[in-house]
Amino acid sequence: MTQKRRNFLKKLIGTSAISVLGTEIVFANNMPEGYSPIILNSLDDNALEMLKKNKEMTILSDRPWNVEAPAHLLDDEITPLDKMFVRNNGNPPENIDIKTWTLTIEGESAKTKKTFTLEQLKKQFKQYTYQIQLECGGNGRSGFVPQASGNQWSEGAINCAEWTGVRLKDVLSSVGIKDDAVYIGYFGKDTHLSGDPKKVTISRGVPIKKALEDESLLAWAVNGQEIPLIHGYPLRLILGGWPASVSGKWLEKIVVRNKVHDGEKMDGTHYRVPLYPIEPGGKAPDSDYRIIESMPVKSVITYPKTGAMIDDGKTISLRGHAWAGDLEVSQMEISIDFGATWQKVSLQKPKNRLAWQHWSTEVKFPRKGYYEVWAKATDAKGISQPMVIPAWNPAGYLNNSCHRIAIKVV
């Protein structure tokens, strides 16, 4: 295999496809430019090891990488790196030199244009650490019928890690923001799957109000260490409570806009939902969609694992997490009788704003047999999770129906 072909085959995290496959790619020289080899499900173990992910994680796609955690892997109060879901749209950059990496702030509503090295960001601005929940807008997509387009996430496209960096508002303040500022948009150094350097993989943004929140960070560390390449090394935008797609990876530029940002995946059905209910499988004009902002109230049962076998007469512990986008969760309940009755559980306050909240309780089932435990969270505005799948939409966003696990008492 030629060196040129080896370089071409370098995959998304700085290692080659050969390290995933564990063998030579026969006839590799015949592969067309822009083509990446298929990673079969049978090779998931090698791929997960390469990605430094827990062996129980589920690979939804390898081009680009999209990986989720089954609910029981999310039991930690702070999500470990090996259990953090991966949602990528293109290929991470290669040959990163942290010494020369820069972030540029510009745009029609920026008073000046400034470029910072990572070292300058660290030295010129106060550093902060927050626990922040990030959730894919399509988390729960697999529940929609008919099937919505996109990766078929179950419950595992959510995590809450501890991010360290500087406040975006402090950096924007040093640049200067004009009175007509409406939005910010980001650009990363990830490359398009086609290999075309002129194509932008993704460039999303948020209203200026969201950008100026205390918890909005320019982060270089997660859980006390460098951000892994697959998660945005060396610099990532962190905007909690909204679809994780606004938390741009491999960050190299932020633009301050005098209008809603019009970058890649800000239009059509990308991270947008209809303004009104449409029939399952139906469509609506682009003008009748709104951009997803704060994510809806949601919860997950992390212990026990679904399918658990429990001895009759024993009391078991139940626990999990709850979150509500920009809001706090005010109440958490569980049901063991298919929603006929509900009982409140112990719910902790968040570590800081935009962190998820931990809940726990103990349950004794009345007799032997099959049970389902349903979990329901209610946010600070009194809105609760629905017991059924919410309104269908073409891209399968915002499924916040109650999480359920199966229990058999024997």
pLDDT, mean of residues 342-356: 98
pLDDT score of 46: 84
What are 97-145's pLDDT values in tens digits?
A: 999 999 999 999 999 999 999 999 999 999 999 999 999 999 999 999 9
- β-partners of residue 239 are none
Q: What is the pTM of this model?
A: 0.90
Q: Which of 60-64, 198-202, 255-259, 381-385 has the lowest mean pLDDT?
A: 60-64
Alpha-carbon distance 360 to 344, whole Å? 10
Residue 406: count of CB within 10 angstroms of its CB = 12
pLDDT score of 399: 98
Alpha-carbon distance 57 to 179, whole Å? 46
DSSP string, 264-277: TTSSTTTTEEESS-
Is residue 222 within 8 A of residue 164, CB to CB? The reply is yes
Q: 29: pLDDT confidence band, cut at 50, 70 and 90?
A: confident
pLDDT, mean of residues 50-63: 94
Least Cα distance to 296 among 265, 273, 266 occurs for: 273
Percent of the chain with pLDDT over 70: 90
pLDDT score of 45: 78
pLDDT score of 4: 38
pLDDT score of 43: 59
Burial-class residue 372 by CB neighbours within 10 Å (0-12, 13-18, 19+). Answer: middle
Mean confidence (pLDDT) of the chain: 92
Coil/strand/helix, residue 213: coil
Q: Is the pLDDT of residue 6 over 50?
A: no
User: How far is C-alpha 20 from the chain's CA centre?
Assistant: 24
